[in-house]
Amino acid sequence: MTLPRAASDHAEIASAALPEIERKVLGLGAKVAAERAERGWSLAQLAQRAGLSTASVHKIEKSGMTPTIASLMKIAAALGRSVSFFVDEPATPDVSVVRHEDRAKVYTSKQGLDLRNLSGRYGPFLIAGAEAIVEPLADSGPTPMNHPGEELVVVTAGAMVFTVDGREYALGEGDSIHFRTLLPHSWRNPAAEIARAVWLVVRSS
């Protein structure tokens, strides 16, 4: 299995990134409004300094309109900020806690596989982790996967079979497997019951 942070399929990566891009765009307006308020400027004052209409600035702040690159450059210049200030992420913390009720669904193209995120945002962290629920008889597909890095999988319920470099490894509850992912690998749930696992992917640095 390949978690999105170790994906070799660029189309999947782009698809998984779309919600994050949309979130950044939606956050632009709030940042502009906060910077304007900090300076005590009215909408009209910022609009005048940026060479834009007051209505346009109002729509941008309320996320009713996505600014063009040119408009964002003008607003950034008027506020004395760089364009990157409005789109960059804050520094990733060195410690990440994911509460059970806050586990986000992780995108995967594999049928019969449900992944819930366990790890912090990719940045200083090289490990991506997820809790996996594998439906009965589900598998990773006809073509073995391979990509840089490592995987460590701990089966917490049910059974799974991994094939790594042509050799099969049958795992039951409590068993684990750790392998280098440059080797061709695949997985399947051979049973008529759901399997559960904790799945860790280590990207090559």
Residue 20 confidence (pLDDT): 58
Residue 125: DSSP 8-state: B
CB 142 within 8 A of CB 153: no
Determine contact, residues 133/113, Cβ cutoff 8 Å. yes
Find which of 106-115, 139-148, 183-192 is predicted with most confidence, using mean pLDDT: 183-192
What's the farthest any 2 CA atoms get from each other in the chain?
69
Q: Could you read off the pLDDT of 75-91 as tens digits, one per residue?
A: 988 888 888 888 775 55
Tokens of 70: 């040119």
Fold held by 93-202 = Jelly Rolls (2.60.120)
Residue 162: count other Cβ atoms within 10 Å of its Cβ. 20
Which residue stretches of 80-137 are H helix? 83-87
Q: Where in the chain is the domain with CATH 2.60.120.10?
A: 93-202
What is the C-alpha separation between 157 and 128, in angstroms, rounded? Answer: 21
Higher model confidence: residue 151 or residue 202?
151
User: Can you tell me the distance from the alpha carbon of 116 to that of 199, in angstroms, rounded to the nearest whole number?
Assistant: 10
Q: How many CA atoms lie within 13 A of 60 on its CB side?
A: 26
48-65, pLDDT tens digit by residue?
999 999 999 999 988 778
Provide CATH 1.10.260.40 ranges for the chain.
10-87
Please state the pTM of the whole predicted model. 0.58
What is 10-87's CATH number, 2.40.30.10, 1.10.260.40, 3.30.420.40, 3.40.1370.10?
1.10.260.40
